[in-house]
Amino acid sequence: MLAGTIVHETLRQWGNAPKTPIAEVLADVFGEMCERESIQPSFRTAVTFNNMRADLEAFAREEQGRLGPEVCERLFETTLEFVEEQACDEPFQIRGRIDRYELFEENLAVVVDYKYSAKAGMDKLLKAHNEGRLVQGALYLTGLKQVRGVKPAGIRYLGLRGDVNRVGWISRELGEGTTSGREQLVSPEELREILQCAQETSARAVEEIRAGRMEAAPYDLDPCRRYCELRDVCRIRP
C-alpha cells in the first residue's frame, strides 16, 4: 500500500515538473516517506527503491512525446465532489481525487488513473469492468462532465509495475491511433453506456447501504490476505 502512495506522489510532482528526471523526484519522495513512517534503510528498501525507479523511468520514457498538439492540457491530482441525482431515487454525494485528466480540442476529456500493478492486477481490473464492477474512472468522468462541463472522451488505466500496461476505453471522437496496449476504441454511445453502468452500480450500492446491508463481502480476497491488519479477527477467511 505504501508503495502505491509513493508512486502516486512521485507522479503528481513529476507531472507538474516534467523536465525534472523522474528518478530524482522518486528519491525525494521515497526518502520523505521512509522518514515519516520510520522505515530504516535496509537491503529490502534498496531493492524496493530500485524496482520503483526502473518502473517509473520506463513509464517516463513511454510518456515522452505523448503531449503533442492534440493534447491541450493535463491536470493532476484534481479533487472532485458532485451529487449523483439521475441513477437513484434519493441523490447521493460522490467524492474522489483524479490522478490525471487530459483535455483535448472541443473540450473532450480523458480520465487517467495510475495503478502500481503488474499485468495480473490489470487483468483483474479488466475482468471487473467486464462484470460491471469497475466504476472508479467512469464516475470521475461523470463528475468532470457535471462539475466542469467537459465532454467525456475516455477512461485510461495505467499499470506501472514492470512493463507499462494500458487498459481503457477511448471514444472514436479522438480519432484513430489514440489507443495503445489493451485500450479499446469505442463509439460515443458505448462510452455513455459505460458511464451509465457505473452510475447504476453505484446507486445500487448506496440503496443497499441505506437499507442496512453493510456486511463484509469483498469480491477480491487477495488484498485481505496481503494487507488487512485485522484479518485474524475478521469473519472473512481469505
Quote the pLDDT of residue 226: 78
Q: Read out DSSP for 45-106? A: HHHHHHHHHHHHHHHHHHHTT-S-TTEEEEEEEEEEEEEE-SSSSS-EEEEEEEEEEEEEGG
Residue 158 DSSP SS3: strand
Quote the pLDDT of residue 237: 67
Residue 110 DSSP SS3: strand
Q: Return the C-alpha cell found at 97.
A: 481525487
pTM summary value? 0.88
Per residue of the chain (238 residues), give pLDDT as tens.
689 999 999 999 999 898 999 999 999 999 999 999 999 999 999 999 999 999 999 999 988 766 555 788 889 999 999 988 876 778 999 999 999 999 999 999 999 999 999 999 999 999 999 898 999 999 999 999 999 999 999 999 999 999 999 999 999 999 877 888 899 999 999 999 999 999 999 999 899 888 888 777 777 788 777 778 887 777 776 5
